[in-house]
A and B are shown apart, each in its own frame.
Chain A
């Protein structure tokens, strides 16, 4: 005598469900592997570049040392090059930099401690989701067996959900709700723990916390107010900062406010103060150049062009310097091929849509003019 067997329809449904589960699991694993897998760097230079990309500049606003022009970023870049050429491995180099500048210079989440949740939570989440899917797709399995043990089983032929109408307790639904609740609690707790561990950096804050956070927050406010055209309020925020902190960003914002109010000399004074401390400050060089090239004096225009060229020599990521220098090439120097080249470089740096349209049109016009 053989034991009770599942109905053929039920068996084929279960097989189909297992097949779908396997397909889903394979697809998920393959997707994760495709996204996360990166080929190992082929050369020492490539390895050094990867390390620089994964190391944050300790005095910058979220820039890595590969992008930043700060002297400390240059120092770290040189050190990474040296350590790579000495054949130190990546972990050793990261650990050394973390020892010198703090754990926060590492842009990659740590693989241990609370930071490991970044890697663990998606896996746990996937497992929880798979469990949920299993619970939903196999609602009859256990009941069928239970019914089988009790003898002939009309329950196997019950329509789905019949158990919900018979007044019996609903352990399966309770279990599903409990699972969802546990997953949600774990996810929220992990998120909170991770956020606390990593620290929540507002835009404009340095990752080391060396600079007074309230000053950074004031700077952020001033920048926003400037963008909104609230000049008086922005000036009031800057006044609040004045005398307390000698931050170049505050001087730049002040210079932009002066420029907006037509006070070119005051703007230039602020920018010169920034450049005295950091002669390679791209934003100061760019704004200074832009102010000077529009003045009615050949010497000042030449100084402005030199300033813009100094900014461009650092291949800035922002579009401003490229647009301003393009304007100089087009309007002042009449060098259309150079202007096209500069505007195209600006277009590669994500200018706002209105500017993009304008630059694209100018490039087309200059090209047409060049062909004539």
Chain B
């Protein structure tokens, strides 16, 4: 679950990594993006500009953001199939870093 904003420069730099990760895990992973401190229009424009074919959720009342305790975008959470949050990243992530954490979690 990736929290982002169209006005956030690190989010723009991070986005290609999410595209990469989504491509790698088309059949065994789900990526969901949630705008944080942004309008739905801004978020849709961001996806139009930078690409991405995964679900983009609207969080106009910030319920998700507060439930995850998001401080500032970009912020990402790795959620296991049972719904447990396995990892949290504040700041930019890379596809390799996410895969490294998944590998560590599944081998443990």
Contacts and interface: CB of A to CB of B under 8 A. Distances in A.
A79 B66 contact: yes
For the complex, would chain B's binding face be called helix, strand, loop or mixed by DSSP majority? loop
Nearest to B60: A78
Given A59-B72, A210-B90, A277-B8, A74 B37 contact: yes
B72 A72 contact: yes
Assign chain A's interface to a size class.
Answer: 20 to 34
A211 to B, nearest CB: 10
Nearest to A74: B37
B71 A79 contact: no
Contacts, number: 52
Interface in A156-206: none
Nearest to B10: A277
Contacts of B7: 276-279
Interface in A63-88: 70-72, 74-76, 78-79, 82
A70 B66 contact: no
A72 B10 CA distance: 17
Contacts of B73: 71
B69 interface: yes
A210 B71 contact: yes
B9 A76 contact: no
Nearest to A206: B71
Contacts of B38: 71
A100 interface: yes
A100 B63 contact: no
B63 A101 contact: no
A79 B72 contact: no
Contact of A78 (B5, B61, B69, B90): B61
A210 B71 CA distance: 9
A58 interface: yes
